[in-house]
Structure 1
Amino acid sequence: MGIGSTAAELHAGLVEELRKSGRITTPEVADAFAAVPRHLFVPGIPLKEAYRDDAVFTKRAPDGTPLSSVSAPWLVATMLERLDAAPGDRVLEIGSGGYNAALLSRIVGEKGEVTSLDIDPEVIDRAESALRSAGVDEVRLLTGDGTLAVPDGGPYDRTVVTVQATSIALAWLEQLTADGRLVVPLRLRGLGRLLTFVRAGDHWVGDGWDLCGFVRMRGPAALDPMATTPLGEGVRLRWDGGPPPDADALTTALVGERHEVWTGVTVGVTEGTRPVVDLWLATVLDVFGRLHTTGTAPAGVRALPGGSPATWDGTGLAHLTMRPADPGASRFEYGVVRYGGDASTAVEFAHQLRIWDRDHRDGPGPVLRIFPRGGPECAARVCRLLDRPGPAMVLAWP
């Protein structure tokens, strides 16, 4: 679109872009996107910015930390397709902004109900104003803690969480109907993924695993276990749970001898294996985090884009790496870099990569099982009970 493109042209262009990319796959979601102008929910920015397929941050803390946003259209569409709401459904949205609620209102229709809840009264006020300007007056807006129950609107057929969670609130499950569905961006061992949960007997099963990033949940029950440990200039280790790493020992190891262990596991550049490999390593490595580096890191210390999965002990650290496997760099080989410590750490790390290649590379991937009544066991061949408050969660591979 040119500089003088109108809102209607930009709006239509965005919907068409989402169709072509496969983010919109159903007529119901397409109709909702076509009916709701996005620029009304992100006032004060240029029209072209409003219809760009990217998130718009609508509130920040004094230090610049994002507190509220209108998510990127591709992610909104993905969540709506996953939610699979139908006319007449009652839907609960945790984390408001107005835009997603307006789309949901269009999907569920006059016989349905949409409740949008946010902990921040300012966010609710802004959502109310935007919904009014869009002519949407059917959405019920509430201020409150999203981890608590909203009983007078339930039971809900669908619940969608639009803020980053690190655990599942029991109220989200208890207020869903028997065939209800929960869509939530969940951070597990430091990895942000979009999951869809459905009931399976006495527990819930979640999968999907789309990469995603959201403004984190706020409130007294909003756990944020992520921690960052600097390891000298240009190096930091991000970790989620477990004992803290020995920063001094690991900083010393990183400027010492470097060893590489190559696995023979090669992947094509278009296969997109990194997200699933990261999940595999987060399951099988007892000590797990992500190593991040900048250009000022010591020579030879380089993490993969987005951070390298890493494990460590009291004297050394090992992390995932890759190298070209052919002259044209159309394929890459997975390997492990070790700094200090016992060589067995890197050998076991590489062994786990070969197991993924042999047993899970072309498989369905993991599922996350939630047990509201507790008492789960790792019944799968490969699984990990996650240390989180609330309902027990087990990350399992078939």
Structure 2
Amino acid sequence: MTTTRHSRVGDATSPPHGERNTALVEELRTSGWVRTDRVAGALEAVPRGHFVPPELAAQAYANEVVFTKRDIDGTALSSVSAPWLVAGMLERLAPHEGDRVLEIGSGGWNAALLRHLVGTGGHVTSVDIDPDVVNRAVSALADTSWRDVHVVQGDGRDGYGDDAPYDGIMVTVQASRIERAWLDQLAPGGSLVVPLRVRGMGRLLTFTAENGHWRGGGWEQCGFVRMRGEGSAQDTGATFQVGDGVRLRVHDSPLPEASALTDAALHGRREMWSGVTVGVTERTRPLVDLWLATILDRYGRLLGDTAPSGGDVVPLSGGSSATWTGTTLAYVAMRAVDDSGTRFEYGVAWHGPDTELAEQVTDQLRAWDQQQRGGQGPSLMLYRDQAPSPSTTARVLGRGAPQLVLTWPR
């Protein structure tokens, strides 16, 4: 069931953007997130501060996310996305004058930016499951030049068929799968920009039409508030405590035995080094994590608190790619290779008797270095229904249709 909210009609007056908004747009240009004059013009015309709640006004022009609602346990339920990420998504979708666009996950700012880009001949629909978010978006859009954005309360998994077809769909909540409704509501040749969880890791992807299917690309590391609604419980993955302050997060993978992990953690930490060295500025960790996530059959993210007290089990800051057997836990480690702290070597730390597991992960780190480093990244194909028989080197991501097939170049 969906409920429509209309902004009340008033004089079309845009709020002033001021010096702080101008400085933010310049920062986004300088950092490379804004690449085109069209997106820069939208950000200049639609000040972020107008869509941030008054009590959070001090954060309005910082280049970071502003959380606007949390659950009783502190889990973020809604936010105004970070400007760098919003700019990057607008550049990816690249809506034209006159386009029809669907935004899944509302709040007002991104919808107003899209509305500015599609112009008076275009149309923007914004859907969110949370009535508080919908009401906030409607209120912020009222009496502005973007007040005709169609704001709808409903489950974003269903899209919004009444305003379809869309030339572009932008998903601004973390999705764990591509929904069939989104593909059904895209116009021929339409594009989809979505932050998708790939075995638990958030990656920003752009899907464009190609010969009866869609090709995905981009792979930018990102994080969003998780999508809510029917079916959300099955998207949360599973968490296993490994030690005090250390946990293993598993998505789309065979699950370990909890007792096997805690038993493995009792073994002392051993390390094996690959000889693969990288510079800090290369930003290779997201690529290495993606490689391991799509190569290893058993995959999870080993996460630790700021100062974990889990004994010898110490993941990297931000998490380590991990795998396991019935007796052993292994995960990615790094060590400095010079005094400057700018170059590091990849390796594997493991706990338990299965040295072969550590050797397998080390071999995959070397394979990434030899076969994929500096390359174009993996190929990702999206099929509305069943994919053609994938090659032996391909991995089918998720379960059921629509189907995602990932292949690394050889």
Equivalence for 1:69: 79
TM-score, L = length of structure 1: 0.95
Distance 2:193 2:56 in 1: 31
Do structure 1's residue 26 and structure 2's residue 36 form an aligned pair? yes
Do structure 1's residue 285 and structure 2's residue 296 form an aligned pair? yes
Distance 1:287 1:46 in 2: 42
**Residue deviations 1:33-71, cap 9 Å, x none?**
001121111122354411111111122222221111110
Equivalence for 1:258: 269
Equivalence for 1:383: 394
Deviation beyond 4 Å, 4+ runs, structure 1: none
Residues 1:75 and 1:254: Cα distance change in structure 2 (over 3 Å): same
Q: How many residues align?
A: 392
Distance 1:215 1:388 in 2: 22
Residues 1:141 and 1:339: Cα distance change in structure 2 (over 3 Å): same
Equivalence for 2:206: 196
Distance 1:69 1:389 in 2: 30
Structure 1 residue 387: Cα displacement: 2.5
Do structure 1's residue 324 and structure 2's residue 336 form an aligned pair? yes
TM-score, L = length of structure 2: 0.92
The match for 1:139 among 136, 149, 154 is 149
What SS class does the counterpart of residue 175 from structure 2 fall into? Answer: coil
Equivalence for 2:47: 37
1:215-364 to 2 correspondence within 5 Å? Answer: 215-222=225-232, 223-294=234-305, 295-364=307-376
Aligned-residue CA RMSD (Å): 1.6
What SS class does the counterpart of residue 147 from structure 1 fall into? Answer: helix
Do structure 1's residue 55 and structure 2's residue 65 form an aligned pair? yes
Q: Could you tell me whether the CA contact under 8 Å between 1:83 and 1:182 is conserved in 2?
A: yes
Mark the runs of 5 or more structure 2 residues left unpaired by the alignment: 1-15
Equivalence for 2:91: 81
Q: Could you tell me whether the CA contact under 8 Å between 1:117 and 1:144 is conserved in 2?
A: yes
Structure 1 residue 293: Cα displacement: 2.3
Equivalence for 2:380: 368
Structure 1 residue 121: Cα displacement: 1.9
**Residue deviations 1:288-336, cap 9 Å, x none?**
0011223343443211111100000111100000111223232111101
**Residue deviations 1:162-195, cap 9 Å, x none?**
0100000011112112211100000110100100
Distance 2:143 2:51 in 1: 9
Q: Could you tell me whether the CA contact under 8 Å between 2:104 and 2:159 is conserved in 1?
A: no
What SS class does the counterpart of residue 18 from structure 1 fall into? Answer: helix
Distance 2:293 2:122 in 1: 40
Q: Could you tell me whether the CA contact under 8 Å between 1:225 and 1:241 is conserved in 2?
A: no
Greater Cα offset, 251-260 or 86-95: 251-260
Q: Could you tell me whether the CA contact under 8 Å between 1:104 and 1:114 is conserved in 2?
A: yes
Q: Could you tell me whether the CA contact under 8 Å between 1:284 and 1:383 is conserved in 2?
A: no
Q: Could you tell me whether the CA contact under 8 Å between 1:194 and 1:208 is conserved in 2?
A: yes
Distance 2:404 2:206 in 1: 14
Residues 1:171 and 1:100: Cα distance change in structure 2 (over 3 Å): same
- Opposite residue 248 of structure 2, the aligned amino acid is L
Q: Could you tell me whether the CA contact under 8 Å between 1:163 and 1:215 is conserved in 2?
A: yes
Distance 1:237 1:384 in 2: 22
- Opposite residue 221 of structure 1, the aligned amino acid is G
Q: Could you tell me whether the CA contact under 8 Å between 2:173 and 2:227 is conserved in 1?
A: yes
The match for 2:116 among 97, 106, 113 is 106
Residues 1:185 and 1:340: Cα distance change in structure 2 (over 3 Å): same
1:203-222 to 2 correspondence within 5 Å? Answer: 203-222=213-232
Q: Could you tell me whether the CA contact under 8 Å between 2:17 and 2:46 is conserved in 1?
A: no
Mark the runs of 5 or more structure 1 residues left unpaired by the alignment: 1-5
- Opposite residue 386 of structure 2, the aligned amino acid is G
1:148-227 to 2 correspondence within 5 Å? Answer: 148-222=158-232, 223-227=234-238
Distance 1:219 1:126 in 2: 19
Structure 1 residue 150: Cα displacement: 2.1
**Residue deviations 1:356-377, cap 9 Å, x none?**
1111101100132111121333
Q: Could you tell me whether the CA contact under 8 Å between 2:394 and 2:406 is conserved in 1?
A: yes
- Opposite residue 332 of structure 2, the aligned amino acid is L
Distance 2:198 2:247 in 1: 19
Q: Could you tell me whether the CA contact under 8 Å between 2:387 and 2:405 is conserved in 1?
A: no
Indicate the percent of aligned positions where both proteins have the same amino acid: 54
- Opposite residue 169 of structure 1, the aligned amino acid is E
- Opposite residue 239 of structure 2, the aligned amino acid is T
Q: Could you tell me whether the CA contact under 8 Å between 2:265 and 2:352 is conserved in 1?
A: yes
